[in-house]
């Protein structure tokens, strides 16, 4: 009987609307609406229209922009370059960061010093990083050419240019990946590794069968993080090669910038931006589909 008497009051309490949560969430929702939702919806609208040099709507043309962009061979050449550079960046960023994290897993004296050195690139902005790499890649009196005894124009010749850009991208992304992987590797129980060692498991066997499976959540997150950043690398291309030589380092993100800011073709840039969004979304969905098979949560 007492339970029945409490239920009406409970229903009244649950039905009472409190404005405080909505007040607290309003600033975040306002920012998301202004800088995320509205630009995304406007991009969709402008991809089916013509625009002026300022990016304002002038005429509705339907799917003509999409047909024009997707039927150009030059667009698919840029997509191929984007996929190639993203694959290089993703693979080498993960491998190098994992090697550094494995080397730093065991805490020793002064380990915090080289851990800071490994993570330092994440604290450097794109512009000063590009200035450093321009000094390294300079054809005359550049650091790399002085070491190798050559006079190669690293940012103006193929196939060197694409690797020069990727090297800077990898260097900039290693720090974040290293930190997350290091946390995952250090969370592996020490007694489990010692038991495997007593059973005769070598270092590679322990890494393959124990460390990597148990750190799979962190590995999954690092791969997820690097997929987006690999596709959206812009500053290094803008500052090192400007998409050259002969468009061999021109990615979709730089192509979008070129069409919108330099050429004033905002409708073309909107189509390309939505295509890039779809490309990143596809790869992330594939990754999440594989999550349950390869990621082991504890």
Which pLDDT tens digit goes with each residue over 10-22? 545 555 778 888 8
pLDDT reported for residue 14: 53
Residues 10, 145 within the same domain: no
Is 251 in contact with 240 (CB distance < 8 Å)? Answer: no
- Considering the domain architecture, whether residues 158 and 244 belong to the same structural domain is answered as yes
Question: Which of helix, strand or coil describes residue 155?
Answer: coil
Q: Mean pLDDT lowest for which of 31-35, 66-70, 122-126?
A: 122-126
Answer yes or no: are the C-beta atoms of 174 and 100 closer than 8 Å: yes
Nearest to 56, CA basis, from 260, 252, 262, 255:
260
**pLDDT for the residue numbered 15:** 59
Query: Does residue 109 share a domain with residue 15?
Result: no
Q: Which of 50, 65, 80 is the last residue of a domain?
A: 65
* No. of helices (H) and no. of strands (E), the chain: 16, 2
Q: Indicate if the pLDDT at residue 70 is higher than 90.
A: yes
Confidence of residue 235 (pLDDT cuts 50, 70, 90): confident
Structurally, the chain folds into a number of domains equal to 2
**Which pLDDT value is given to residue 267?**
92
88 lies in the same domain as 201: yes
Percentage of the chain surpassing pLDDT 70? Answer: 92
Domain boundary among 33, 65, 97: 65
Q: Are residues 78 and 27 both part of a single domain?
A: no
Residues 267/256, Cβ–Cβ less than 8 Å:
no
Cα distance between residue 43 and residue 273, in whole Å: 8
Residues 152 and 279 in one domain: yes
CATH number of residue 258's parent domain: 1.10.3720.10
Could you give the angle at which helices 216-231 and 266-294 cross, rounded to 10 degrees?
170
Whole domain around residue 60: which residue ranges? 2-65
**Is there a single domain that holds both residue 269 and residue 214?**
yes
**78 and 39 both lie in a single domain:** no
Listed residues 21, 42, 65: the one ending a domain: 65
Please tell me whether residues 31 and 151 are part of one structural domain: no
């Amino acid at each position: 009987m007492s339970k029945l008497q409490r239920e009406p009051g409970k229903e009244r309490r649950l039905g009472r609307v409190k404005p405080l949560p909505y007040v607290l969430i309003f600033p975040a929702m306002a920012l998301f609406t202004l800088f995320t939702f509205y630009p995304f919806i406007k991009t969709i609208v402008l991809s089916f229209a013509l625009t002026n040099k300022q990016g304002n709507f002038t005429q509705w043309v339907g799917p003509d922009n999409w047909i024009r962009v997707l039927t150009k061979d030059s667009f698919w050449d840029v997509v191929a370059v984007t996929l190639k550079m993203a694959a290089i960046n993703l693979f080498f960023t993960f491998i190098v960061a994992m090697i550094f994290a494995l080397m730093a897993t065991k805490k020793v004296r002064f380990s915090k010093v080289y851990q800071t050195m490994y993570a330092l690139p994440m604290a450097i902005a794109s512009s000063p990083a590009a200035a450093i790499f321009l000094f390294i890649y300079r054809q005359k009196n550049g650091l790399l050419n002085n070491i190798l005894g050559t006079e190669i124009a690293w940012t103006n010749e193929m196939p060197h240019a694409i690797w020069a850009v990727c090297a800077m991208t990898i260097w900039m992304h290693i720090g974040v990946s290293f930190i997350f992987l290091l946390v995952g590797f250090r969370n592996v129980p020490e007694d489990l590794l010692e038991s495997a060692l007593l059973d005769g498991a070598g270092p590679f066997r322990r890494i393959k069968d124990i460390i990597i499976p148990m750190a799979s959540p962190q590995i999954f997150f690092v791969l997820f993080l690097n997929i987006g950043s690999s596709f959206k690398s812009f500053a290094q291309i803008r500052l090192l090669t400007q998409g050259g030589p002969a468009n061999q380092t021109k990615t979709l993100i730089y192509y979008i910038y070129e069409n919108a800011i330099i050429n004033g073709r905002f409708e073309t840039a909107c189509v390309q931006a939505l295509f890039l969004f779809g490309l990143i979304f596809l790869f992330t969905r594939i990754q999440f589909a594989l999550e349950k098979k390869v990621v082991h949560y504890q």
